[in-house]
Amino acid sequence: MKNVIHAKCVKCGKTYEASPNLTNCGCGGILDVVYDYDYIKKKLTREKLAARPNTMWRYRELLPVEETTPDTPLRVGWSPLYEADRLAGQLGVKKLWIKDDGQNPTASLKDRASAMAVAKAREAGAKIIACSSTGNAASSLAGNAAAAGLRTFIFVPERAPKGKVAQLMTFGANVISVQGNYEETFELSKKAIEKWGWYNRNAAINPYLSEGKKTVSLEIAEQLGWKMPDYLAISVGDGCTIAGVWKGLKDLYAIGWIDSLPRLISAQAEGCHPINRAIAENKPWQPMEENTLADSIAVGVPRNADKALMAIRESNGIVVNVTDEEIMAAQKLLGTTCGVFGEPAGVTGTAGLKKLCGQGVIGKDDTVVSVVTGNGLKDVANAIKFCGEPMKLPNDLDALVEEIDRRGLKTE
Ligand SMILES: *Cc1c(COP(=O)(O)O)cnc(C)c1O
Ligand SMILES: [Zn+2]
């Protein structure tokens, strides 16, 4: 890879040649891919970019893949960025955009990391990829691998929502539902990967995944004409996503395509916020219970905490924790004002933004992008529980008129 210099440990600084099978540093630290920005500046121009297909691979020069590695088959990336003026008005901010990443092929932002894992597994000559996941990493890996003709072994905690498990089974993955929490699921996958030598798609072990995820911020910048907002709100579990988002922004800054960097808003659940607690108390992170219905961010032992904490601090970021009720209220708010249906973890960034607006931390002079990271159809059980029941009536117009009157609904 001519665009990559090496991978560097974020803890001790040791560097490694960027082979496809990289995992953690000997010291236990996570590796970070270091680019040759001078080379990239010469190779990539905005004109070249404008002519390319709308997938994450349009940013190839900024991604850690060989020039000869083929694009993965599913259309990952280039999700819509909506101007959400009505919601901006309700929240009291100057400008708000919603990036709906639930519109990826398997319906979450995780497709960006999984497509990268498939590309790197191909470079490594691997036939089987494995991961443990709260759900979306799993379903995205299974889908992207299936499309590329690779097999998968997937470890999920038993609480994974049915929609996600249905995706896994449909994509033909070998699925192991582990009787335990995410931590235990991760441990079993690690042992199995060591035993059979599968390609490892575990976030924070594999440094390429956050490079895939960073394409969400590359897109946001391009969709905004390279003018950045004041804030970028996103939900945080392992921390791989927010670290990737920050990496993408720094890449663009390094090649001179953007001239300011947004402050990150790290949104976590009140019932599980080890990363936000570490920032708020300025202490090393400590494990927490996994006590939230936002299953995709119920991560008590974050695997990418170091990179996430650095990203939040470097960006002069803000941390905010929201209750499950606030999360579900944000799901409804996004649905009614924007027509966007996010899963609970998917709307947690917006829930956090709403809370910060209510507290006056963010207000009428601020511009914000809020990323919806996963689709609401992944977890219909919670949506149905919180959104209430439809009107249940027989085939009888009089009964309908009566019910509409009773509810005081406007019919014109
Ligand atoms: C995985 C996930 C997140 C959080 O990403 P991390 O890298 O674990 O911090 C947020 N939302 C959804 C929908 C996810 O699937
Ligand atoms: Zn190290």
What pLDDT does 32 receive? 95
Ligand 1 pocket: which of 103, 114, 136, 266 to mutate (most atoms within 8 A of CB): 136
Model pTM above 0.75: yes
Angle at 321 between CA 315 and CA 325, to 5 degrees: 145
Partnered with residue 82 across adjacent β-strands are 98
Residue 244: closest CA among 278, 202, 212: 212
Pocket of ligand 1 (CB under 6 A): 108, 110, 136, 203, 235-242, 296-297, 299, 343, 345-346, 373-374
Q: Could you tell which of 100, 304, 373 is best to mutate to test the pocket of ligand 1, judged by most ligand atoms within 8 Å of the CB?
A: 373
Q: Residues within 5 Å of ion ligand 2 by Cβ?
A: 9, 11-12, 14, 25, 27, 29
Q: Could you tell me the domains of the chain? A: 81-107+209-387 (3.40.50.1100)
Q: Which ligand neighbours the alpha carbon of 110 most closely?
A: 1
Nearest ligand 1 atom to the CA of 244 is 7
Choose which residue among 236, 297, 343 to substitute to test ligand 1 binding: the one with the highest number of ligand atoms within 8 A of its C-beta: 297
Nearest ligand 1 atom, CA 234: 10
Q: Which residues of 137-175 are buried (b: 16+ CB within 10 A; e: fewer)?
A: bbbbbbbbbbbbebbbbbbbbebbbebbbebbeebebeb
- Average pLDDT, whole number, for the chain? 95
* Distance in Å, CA 122 to ligand 1 centroid: 24
**What is the residue type of 124?**
A
Distance between CA atoms of residues 121 and 153, nearest Å: 14
Give residue 296 CA to ligand 1 midpoint distance, Å: 6
**Residue 232 has what pLDDT?**
98
CB contact at 8 A, 60 and 23? no
In the reported structure, the alpha carbon of residue 362 is separated from the centroid of ligand 1 by a whole-number distance in angstroms of 23
Mutate which of 104, 241, 319, 340 to test ligand 1's pocket (most atoms within 8 Å of Cβ)? 241
Instruction: Give distance in angstroms: CA of 173 to centre of ligand 2.
Output: 33
The position carrying tokens 């929240």 is 91
User: Which parts of the chain have pLDDT scores under 50?
Assistant: none
Cβ neighbours for 389, distance < 8 A, ≥ 6 positions apart: none
Q: What confidence score (pLDDT) does residue 97 get?
A: 98
pLDDT at 409: 95
In tens, the pLDDT along 29-77 reads 999 999 999 999 999 999 999 999 999 999 999 999 999 999 999 999 9
Predicted pLDDT at 334: 98
pLDDT tens for residues 100-131? 999 999 999 999 999 999 999 999 999 999 99
- If you write DSSP's letter for every residue of 215-258 in order, what string do you get? HHHHHHHHHTTT---SEEEEE-SSSHHHHHHHHHHHHHHHTTS-
Q: What is the DSSP letter of 126?
A: -
130-159: pLDDT as tens digits? 998 878 999 999 999 999 999 999 999 888
Of 265, 240, 248, which is closest to residue 117 (Cα–Cα)?
A: 240
> What pLDDT does residue 159 have?
82
Q: Residue 273: phi, psi to the nearest 5?
A: -140, 55
Which ligand is nearest to the Cα of residue 27, counting in written order?
A: 2
Which pLDDT does position 389 carry in this prediction?
84
Q: What is the pLDDT of residue 388?
A: 83
